[in-house]
Structure 1
Amino acid sequence: MTVGYCKKFCTKYKFYGVQDSTWCFCGNFFTENVRHPERECNMKCSGNNKEICGGNWRMNIYRSPEYNNEYLGCFQDQTSRTLADKYINKKSMTVEYCRKFCTQFQFYGVQYSTWCFCGNRLTKNVKKPEGECHMKCKGNQRQICGGSWRMNIFRKPEYDKDYLGCFQDQSSRTFTGKRTHSKSMTVEYCRKFCTKFQFYGVQYSMHCFCGNFFTKNVRHPERECNMKCSGNNIQICGGGYRMNIYRNPEYSEEYLGCFKDHSSRTLAGKYTNNKSMTVEYCKKFCTKFQFYGVQYSSWCFCGNSLTENVTKPERECLLECSGDKKQFCGGSLRMNIYRNLQLKNEYLGCYQDQSSRALPNKSTNYKAMTVEYCRKFCTKYRFYGLQSSSHCFCGNRMTTKVKKSEGDCNMKCNGNRKQICGGSWKNSIYRKPTTN
């Protein structure tokens, strides 16, 4: 027995413990929470005499880092608060309740059995041993809710939909396209620097890397990316050989995002399964369809509409394509969906609107809005655009041409849920062909 052996054995559990030299125990909660002096755990591990494996009815207990990928660790709190934006005290506190309470924030933390704190940054980043966060949650005695001035802090990866996670880097580099470093590094700086690449990542406070594929795809717990960005200490910029990686939404005009699939299919026109699947293969297979999507490494689906329009965080579409390990092909009931821009139609793309209107000549708001209705309404105009599910705008020219990612136009048309009608201050714009 070794501590490492026990950790691997208990992979699917929240806690693991070694006892009496040769024993390993796993669990998701403590049936009893009675702490004893460290000296009572004094027996060497049978498989490694440099490690301690508990004692007689005494157990060295560890928290499994793989159990909850959101968990960052046990942190010190103070009167000015480590998470200072919002808080609540509740007699039935649980980790899940705190997460929901902090919906609009990136970080959430539980403390002293009944307290929950929220924030978009850690005002102080002082990590403490896990043993100092030992108080049970009042609403669930099987969970731990910090300690006295000690907080179990979590980070929600879905806070940024383009964020993929914390990944391993190495001397040969996960991204080999382009790189830079700056004493004023931020996530935005790196994104702008990597404009022409599909992925970008920040590392070790001040480094930025770009690439169109992963040379290695090894994800790590979020707490291993724990260094503040040199140019913005509210943001996290990786760690030692650890990189916070993002997908660049501006890289491809065709890419719409990661979407949920279901048994009746989000793209229901045509499909295939191929052991040599790539994004290019799927696009070619779906030549006659407006949309195409790759899923679960080897599947390709086609359609002229999305039967459901439920976007998911990019990290849920991270399975490698069976035909090209450098590409991603969705996940389990998760699909990377693209719009086929080569299909001959009137669609121009997703564009930013403003109060003076990109298409200012005529407009209407209709509860049963569809693309066809808007086209007909704009009969006398060359351009027509749909916005926010029910709005239609017309014009003979666009007063502004600020193109946005297709994922920003994600609202279904009220009159046809299979069609897209822009987004908030975003227009799905079409141009009618000129007639001779």
Structure 2
Amino acid sequence: MHLTSLVLPMLCLGVVIGVATAQTCDNGLAGVSKGEYCCTLGCGTCGGSGCSSRAEGLTGDDCCTSNIASNGILCADSGAAPCIGDVGDDVPNETEGFLGCFSDPADSRVFVQEISSASMTAEVCSEACAGSAYYGTQYSTECWCGAEGADYDANGAGVCDMPCGGDAGETCGGFYAMSIYEHDVDGGESDDPSYLGCYSDPADSRVFEQKISSDSMTAEVCSEACAGSAYYGTQYSTEHTVHASHVSTKTPSVVHTPPTLPDIVPLLCGNATHYCFAFYKQCWCGAEGADYDANGAGVCDMPCGGDAGETCGGFYAMSIYENDADDGESDDPSYLGCYSDPADSRVFVQGVSSAAMTAEICSAACAGSAYYGTQYSVECWCGAEGADYDANGAGVCDMPCGGDADEICGGFYAMSVYENGADDGVPDEFSCSGDAGVSSGSSCCEADCGTCGGSGCSSRGSGAASCCTSNIQSAGILCSDSGAAPCIL
């Protein structure tokens, strides 16, 4: 046996081992380094003779230090080889909780896949893995969740170079590599104390009941619609209802992307597209004890119809909130809720219309009625004692008041309903006139006194206590406290 026949395999084996074990450059990025240069991992070595043809598919731009120097790409800017210099703390990822890019080979998974979405971002994945300690994005569209204590860096550094499906300016892992984040870092919590998370809501396993649909949907609108329920949730940019005889019983096993109208019609309707129509922005209500997370995490990536800066669930996924959270209660004790008020089934009688409409103006206009309600921003309606104001069910109140844009005055065939005379803890201003009484100076006598004080006051009406100013002043009862004569103004 020739010596070369022994040496060459050993040399080749040495090269193979060198490539397999050289996982990172000196700056921590996946690759192989030479001085300040970080070459692509597959180069084997960085620079040197034959660097332009060292590996199949790789060029001098990947493996030759002269090319990398000419290209001038800084590692601090790109966050991936080939590049020049130290990474330091400048790896381009501003998302709070980012831990780094780690290898995730198929035969050695550490996390569990949760969802796939063409709109994937770190934020979408964070919501989907709300109950997990870690989360990671991969292959542009995948989201994986990791339990507390998961050894996320067990497989070493990876190459994360694939843009996120939902934001091309953000990186969502790579080929068998994951961009990994840690949950519950500072600033990671929602500012809304009522928000519980994003949960899956498959058609065959609903937990909540649908309440309303509105193209002006927001969490606030839904909260009002579900005022009597323990939970509420928003869902879908578009929902399609199908005629019963044309509903397909086949449910796709995996849905990788949020649907557009062309996507979802074949899934739900087959060829019977004329039986499908859109309802925009749904609101669902959940009873006390509803198992809202029974179906696991969902992908909430659809903007609210009424506020594009807010998320209203997703495809078979719901943004869920708890009613009566600290900031969820109305400060107005007279407000009863938002109720449907169709043209052919009115319960109240229209009182006034005003471009300056507010609940306060409507209350005054309906002073002799048990109830009052605002509608269409400018209308005021009055309801008699015993009026069945909720007979038509919940409505969508999303129109600002003409007189105060921060206040809601009903909606399209929907009314913001109030009860007159609700105790708000502040006594009404007392007026000593008419049937309420007759006054003299700061004294208010009962109306049947005729006049207040003066000669013979003790023999008028109910006597001195009610008709004589000296007695009223001595008693010291303020009208602001009692709200009735005799009293001191």
Higher strand share: 1
Q: Same fold (TM over 0.5)?
A: no
- The structure whose residues are more often helix, as a share, is 2
Higher alpha-carbon Rg: 2
Which of the five TM-score ranges fits, normalised by the shorter chain? 0.3 to 0.5
